[in-house]
Structure 1
Amino acid sequence: MILWTLFQSLCVAVVAAWLTSFLIEKRESNKTARGLKYLALQIAFQLEHFAAECASSFQDAGNYENSNGDMGRMLEALPELSAYPQDGDYAAFDTALLTQVLSFRLKVDSANSSVIFEYNANGEDSAHDACMAVCLKMGVDASKLSDKVREAYKLAPFELEKTLWDYREYLEQQRRLRQQVSRAIGRKDS
């Protein structure tokens, strides 16, 4: 009888230990998932902010050109891409997507370097044109990368109120327009 009671106590202890371990693991897993989702949301917002700044800069540059310099401004560099969060668990982030996110900053830096080179080689007007082209491309790319991040982590899509400026549509519209113009004059840009 004592042996049977001892065996029952041992079984209860093992089940309780396993259940406690399982619940702790589940809680930590949920905590990690929430932290990862928050990190993805922060990255998506930073990419969207960059895309909106690119659209605004592109529009300013167009105003500058159309007004002979009376409105807008000449583009000299891409808008700044804010630093990604320092406190996130990047090791848990999807590796392929993280590679795209982190390499995007390198693409922005490379695009800015190409604009500087264009300025040094051919002057400010040529650099302005080059910056407009890369500003449009990088804005569209940032918007698409943001969509990938949101999709991968099941975040709601970024939607603007109908009364606000839809910078995403503006970037896409300008990109299509530039492609049509390029095809019409026989160049392959954008």
Structure 2
Amino acid sequence: MQQHPIRLAVIVGSTRHGRFAPTVADWVAGHARRRAALEIDVVDLARVALPEVLGGEHDPVPDPVAKLATRLAAADAFLVVTPEYNHSFPAALKTAIDWFFDEWAAKPVGFVSYGGMGGGLRAVEALRLVFAELHAATVRDVVSFHFRDWPFPFEPVDPGTAAALDGLLDQLGWWAEALRTHRDRVPYSRSA
């Protein structure tokens, strides 16, 4: 039985001016907050303002990186909200992923995507490869929005979207609980 809430970091993956990401992320976070078993932390990369240039091994850690490291390390699971730019995900999201390493390991990652006729799914498939390298476990199901679904100021057009998000949150919760329980018993090792 779950002993304390799953800490879910909802990552807003776009920093572009005029972006749609906050609208999607607000809907996702609002829906997730209805679950008592989840504790939500919305990480908006536009507000975090990470440096674009990664530091060297012996360079001091910039303050925005240190602050975000604490938030990511505290998370039990991640839900990445990403658009699709040029058949992939935004550069700012890649920079945010690359600043960190241990914070992602042995934790589940889910995706909510949007953009184009493919609903951002090419961005998600590219992200799966990146997160696999960081030893994170991506969940199978994705919630995606296509151009025909826009705009949705409060609720998406398709009534099945909330049910799809519930399924995704169920998967994230299951994996988060299982991985957290095991990490608490046995520290994760990349060499295993």
Report the TM range for the smaller structure's normalisation.
Answer: under 0.3
TM-score normalised by structure 1 residue count: 0.24
Report the structure, 1 or 2, having the larger strand content.
2
Question: Over alpha carbons, which structure has the higher Rg?
Answer: 1
TM-score normalised by structure 2 residue count: 0.24
**Bigger relative contact order, structure 1 or 2, given CA contacts below 8 A and separation 6+?**
1
